[in-house]
Chains A and B, each alone.
Chain A
Amino acid sequence: MDYRFETPADVSTRLRDVDYLSDEAIAGVVFLADRLGKPILVEGPAGTGKTQLAKSVAEILGARLIRLQCYEGLDESKALYEWNYKKQLLRIQAERNSDSSWEDIETDIFSDEFLLTRPLLEAILAEDPVVLLIDEVDRVEVETEALLLEILSDYQVSIPELGTISARQIPMVFLTSNNTRELSEALKRRCLFLHIDYPDMEREKEIVLTRIPEITESLADQIARIVRSIRQLELKKSPSVSETLDWARTLLLLGVDSVTEADAIETLNILLKYQSDITKASKELQGDSGAKRPGVPRTS
């Protein structure tokens, strides 16, 4: 089998070409997933680029992205396949006057023609290169997770009437999770695990620079610093990377060259989404910085 990537560094450069800045962990795991033919379970806080990773990988591979959005109550007929029973009914009625036997009709109505493919089956059947993204897998119930196991470990789907359908090629599979609940051991065992956290300051600055080319370096630097500072506070929801980007765009639109306290506080509502967080952060940004801050343990 041909591998998609040469080295982890190759992954990283090619991701950079499509404006996705990876770090060593991301590049390493994507590389391994390709080599081992295993799905990647990507976990981390919201808005750190988990879904974007799958999209970017699809883009560099020139592959079609097939996306399954998970939600509570997702079932087989939405995730795997469904029989098109209306069409089957029509078929039976059309046959009524001819004298074909019951067996004929049965084999006929349970054939490919009457099968409605859903994302998972579609990814298995695809002839062209595809990337399968199973988004927010922590939203389905534990029982539904079992649906995914066969496809994740063997890249096949069993349909009682048709038998087992194996993948024509091993697609790259990404599962994302916001960790709102613990996923089952069985699922985790089948995947490579990748945790994407908030980026460090340097990387965040680079992300801002890559995504918003018009921005000046000094502004990007300042933005990254302020965001890091805010993330150290104990908040209900820390600002995500996408919120940092929104904030940077806003500051750019307002024509700010260098962020002052007043600018920062006026536009905080873009970074933070809870009123209590906004109050707390603006108090911190104004307040005396010498005060003891939570999150920074001071030893010695």
Chain B
Amino acid sequence: MTSIEVPSSPMLELLSGFIVELRAAGLPVSLTENLDAMEAITHIPMENRDAFKYALAATLVKNNTHWRAFETVFEVYFSLRGREYSLGGGDDLPEITEDDEAPMNPDAGGAGAGGAGEAMSPEQMAEMLFQAMRNGDDGLMRALARQAVTRFAGMEPGRPVGGTYYLYRTLRNLDLDGVLERLMEEAQEQSPAPLTQLEERLERDEFESRIDRMKKEIEAEIRRRLVADRGVEAMAKTLRKPLPEDVDFMHANREELVGLRKAMYPLTRKLAVRLARKRRHGRKGPLDFRATVRQSLSYGGVPADPRFRYPRPSKPEIFVVADISGSVAAFARFTLQLVYAISGQFSRVRSFVFIDGIDEVTRFFEGVEDISVAIHRVNTEADVVWVDGHSDYGHAFEVFWEKYGREVGPKTTVLILGDARNNYHASQSWVIKEMSQKARHVYWLNPEPKAYWDTGDSIVSDYGAHTDGVFECRNLRQLEKFVDILE
């Protein structure tokens, strides 16, 4: 193995800044990995930016869900080092210089627009955008993205506005949806026969993916300018995206929820494995007489090595009781996904949802292969409203105990999910007390930050005192911690 050649020191400095930022973003980068990265880049020609990026990724990012965070940091740290992004040092807006404009003209030639960017009318620009989309011309798209940001984003140096605001302004002016419609119309007209459903769908997919690319270009352009304006460290901090395991369930957006679901799958498996292993190991069963005699033959008839039967595997039974009221709506959606995932791993999971009434929803998850169908049915068909549709834990628990209490036994683990915001109703915490006496375990997962517990109408401690533990469960990392301590 070659000894590590120390790369030029500005590079080394940049790399260590990069790694500090990765760690700050939550990526676990160990010392070995750090050294690997340094060695790796000595083998890669620096000019090849993609190879450089993949070299760093291969050595530093060991989990695919961290890729997005890595990419953002990488872009902030390394993408702006090119000559074209060095700003003229002026105080005013980053302007498109002659240099930047140059590559645009040959590309634009086909579009018939020509001329310098500043002279372009909005109509010409829209036309060029349309052409770029139709031909899938990456060069032109990039040039247009640069133009569009200069023109529409209205970026001012030092203004404390996030990139999303600029993105919104730019996109509003470009009207990409309109472009999509126009592209589709044209595709319809140009084809000799009317497009079939399938063809139309395929065309639309193609254009949508191009438009998506355009949006990404614009986003990248805005980010570059922001970094140029505010500096690397400040921007890295602003752009820091939480890793999927740190995303707050309560405030996850659609895209993050998809990521969450993917990241959750290994976790539910882990939960299953953990429970299954507890079942298999540990306690020994009764003496296996036949096997012991058989074994004794190798010791001349002395039963030196007694054999035991495997204990009959007890099937763990899981009851999930979840609050799906408005205050925890976002969490509830996640909860239902968790229930769905768990019921895929265990044979005996029963699930209940409540607001002020309670209903069993196990049937909605059985044999359903599409989670969205199950969730839809839970939300529309489950009978969870008793009086006014405001959470009433006390009443819900009471009814639960009355109806299903008999079925809770020493093998049952009960998981309660909710924020215990009871709207000042009676708590009926005796139910939980009796439940934990009868069941194997009762755990409470609370989606609220710990600081908010027992404030206002939250009475989580009233219930919590009787359970085997109340856990803050706002993101996957905390859920994983809970799974880890679970037995």
Contacts and interface: CB of A to CB of B under 8 A. Distances in A.
Contacts of A297: 254-255
Interface string A269-290: 0000010110010000111110
A185 interface: yes
B273 interface: yes
B59 A192 contact: yes
A32 B40 contact: yes
B187 interface: no
Given A24-B54, A35-B43, A228-B205, A182 B36 contact: no
A100 interface: no
Contact of B270 (A1, A24, A181): A181
Interface in B26-60: 28, 30, 32-33, 36, 39-40, 43-45, 48, 50-51, 54-55, 57-59
A236 interface: yes
A233 to B, nearest CB: 10
A192 B202 contact: no
A226 B54 contact: no
A179 B266 contact: yes
A181 B273 contact: yes
Interface string A27-67: 01101100111101101100000000000000000000000
Given A192-B59, A288-B197, A36 B51 contact: no
B67 A226 contact: no
B61 interface: yes
Interface in A153-182: 179-182
B171 interface: yes
Given A189-B30, A288-B197, A276 B266 contact: no
A97 interface: no
Nearest to B208: A296
Interface residues of A, number: 57
Contacts, number: 122
Interface in A104-121: none
B227 to A, nearest CB: 23
Nearest to A224: B202
A40 B202 CA distance: 36
Interface in B12-35: 28, 30, 32-33
Interface residues on B, range: 35 or more
Nearest to A264: B198
Nearest to A25: B54
B205 A232 contact: yes
A222 interface: yes
B177 interface: yes
Contacts of A201: 209
A234 interface: yes
B57 to A, nearest CB: 7
A288 B197 CA distance: 7
A297 B202 CA distance: 17
A180 B64 contact: no
B1 A229 contact: no
A225 B206 contact: yes
Contacts of B269: 180-181
B230 interface: no
A195 interface: yes
Given A24-B51, A24-B54, A299-B171, A188 B62 contact: yes
B266 A182 contact: yes
Contacts of A1: 1
A194 interface: yes
Contact of B205 (A37, A182, A229, A260): A229
B255 A234 contact: no
B152 to A, nearest CB: 12
B318 to A, nearest CB: 20
Contacts of B58: 25, 28-29, 32, 40, 192-194
B99 to A, nearest CB: 27
Contacts of B40: 32, 35-36
Given A188-B62, A192-B59, A229 B54 contact: no
B198 A226 contact: yes
Interface in B237-266: 254-255, 265-266
B55 A285 contact: no
Nearest to A265: B198
B34 to A, nearest CB: 11
A225 B50 contact: no
Contact of A285 (B50, B59, B62, B197): B197
B369 A236 contact: yes
Contacts of B36: 36, 38, 192
Contacts of B61: 193
A32 B36 CA distance: 10
B201 interface: yes
Interface in A5-37: 7-8, 24-25, 28-29, 31-32, 35-37
Nearest to A221: B202
A261 interface: yes
Interface string B186-212: 000000000011101110111011000
B266 A286 contact: no
Given A195-B64, A276-B369, 6 more contacts: A180-B266, A192-B36, A225-B202, A236-B370, A285-B197, A294-B372
Interface of B: 1, 28, 30, 32-33, 36, 39-40, 43-45, 48, 50-51, 54-55, 57-59, 61-64, 67, 168, 171-172, 176-177, 196-198, 200-202, 204-206, 208-209, 215, 254-255, 265-267, 269-270, 273, 369-370, 372
Interface of A: 1, 7-8, 24-25, 28-29, 31-32, 35-38, 40-41, 43-44, 179-182, 185, 188-189, 191-195, 201, 222, 225-226, 228-229, 232, 234, 236, 259-261, 264, 274, 276-277, 280, 285-289, 294, 296-300
8 contacts: A7-B45, A32-B40, A180-B269, A193-B61, A195-B67, A232-B205, A285-B197, A300-B172
Q: Which 10 A-B pairs have CB atoms at the shortest separation, nearest pair first?
A: A28-B54, A289-B201, A276-B369, A188-B62, A192-B58, A195-B64, A35-B43, A300-B171, A261-B198, A225-B202
